[in-house]
Structure 1
Amino acid sequence: MGTPQALGGLPLAPVAPRPELAPTSPRVGEIITVARAVLEQEGAAALTMRRLGELLGIRAPSLYKHLAGKMQLETMLVDAALVETGDLLHGVVDRADAAGVLGDLLAAYRAHARAQPNLYRLVTAGPLRRDQLTAGVEKWAGEPFYRAMGEPYRAQALWAAAHGTVILELDGRYLPGSDLDQTWAALTAAFRRPVDDDRSG
């Protein structure tokens, strides 16, 4: 992924190429759009071929003319979501300076997850079927953390901390009355360090 850099050299320039998703037919595009709406509005349990057929006005078996099944549908949702997340976070990092990149990145990550919590859970829960995803999508989505940190393992730790913090928020697991803005500010402070710390050792 590269070598560590002092805070003054951050954020790093992008390295990962933006992946291009395979083109789909208009009908598949419509199915994916409806599936995403069902996922967010009705929950993961409602995301069935039968439910999609009802909303599209076709019999569920007819969906299999366009998709292999629910697993492929979920993979396509994850694929698109990873590209979308990468686009958003790369844009945030592109506009940020060294002092603000960490806070800006975490704020955008939190807001994006809160805006689509069920899609976020689909993307981040359980094993990732990497062999079925478009090449490069995972790297594209994750590289903004590396660009903000300048070191791969601190970047992974930052993403893990951000994920843990936001999934607890989405699931309502913090104590009542908790000031979650303060929690996120503490997370940002925990990963921010002065240039002198980076240069020591």
Structure 2
Amino acid sequence: MPTPERTSLDAIVLAATDLLEQEGLAGVTMQAVAQRVGVRAPSLYKRVRSREKLIQLVAEATMTAFAERLDAAAGAEELANGVRAFGHERPAAFQLVMTPGTGTPAVGDEYRAAASAAVLRVAGELAGEEHALEAARTLTAWAAGFISMELNGGFNLGGDVERAWEFGLARMIAAITVAPTT
């Protein structure tokens, strides 16, 4: 008689995602995830072949949630503020996908494309289709850098960080916006 299913892949990824936020990347171990879902660690390997694959699945789930969040954005400010809100809500997952460390497993191209679609759309509206990729990279790099510094306590000179975000965002939008030709 086969062993009954005690957990699902979705439950495993959710448990790993929760651990990521609570314990950081080092805390996402097969043993810790197995405990969270109520199975022994060897049973986990029936669903996920390695910790590296588990981290990849967490990153892909993060990119999917990120894409869903940004798809409805109507304009650069709403998009950037959505990126920032995501970073504040899920800081470890945000850093996993936006500033991955050496050795972090890569997500599949389809996940990167889905997460980039809204940024490319908005960047194309601002800079024109010819410069959409460059504009998207510029806006993304600025936002990811700002948010990462914010999450890591990198703004320690005083002042209003919210004001700095608004200032920087306005300047970035202006920098990538191409005036329409008449």
- Fold shared per TM-score above 0.5: yes
Task: Between 152-161 and 52-61, report the one with greater CA deviation.
Answer: 52-61
Question: Pairwise CA RMSD of aligned residues?
Answer: 2.4
Match of 2:89 among 101, 115, 118: 115
Unaligned runs of 5+ in 2: 1-5, 125-131
Instruction: Say whether 1:184 aligns with 2:165.
Output: yes
2:66 alignment partner in structure 1: 85
Q: Give the AA of the match of 2:156.
A: L
State the structure with bigger RCO (CA 8 A, min sep 6), 1 or 2.
1
Residue correspondence of structure 1 range 122-161 to structure 2 within 5 A: 122-124=96-98, 125-126=100-101, 129-130=105-106, 133=108, 135-150=109-124, 151-161=132-142
Q: Distance in 2 between matches of 1:52 and 1:188?
A: 38
Task: Between 158-167 and 120-129, report the one with greater CA deviation.
Answer: 120-129
1:104 alignment partner in structure 2: 78
How many residue pairs were aligned?
167
2:35 alignment partner in structure 1: 54
What are the Cα deviations for residues 3-28 of structure 1, in whole angstroms up to 9, with x where unaligned? xxxxxxxxxxxxxxxxxxxxxx9521
Q: Is the 8 A contact 2:52 2:105 kept in 1?
A: no
TM-score when scaled to structure 1? 0.75
CA gap 1:63/1:197 in 2 versus in 1, 3 angstroms: closer
Provide the secondary structure at the position in 1 that maps to 2:153.
coil
Q: CA deviation at 1:51?
A: 1.0
Q: Distance in 2 between matches of 1:26 and 1:63?
A: 9
Q: CA deviation at 1:66?
A: 1.2
Q: CA deviation at 1:90?
A: 1.1
Instruction: Give the helix-richer structure, 1 or 2.
Output: 2
TM-score when scaled to structure 2? 0.82
Unaligned runs of 5+ in 1: 1-24
Q: CA deviation at 1:178?
A: 3.1
Q: Distance in 1 between matches of 2:178 and 2:69?
A: 29
Task: Between 184-193 and 31-40, report the one with greater CA deviation.
Answer: 184-193
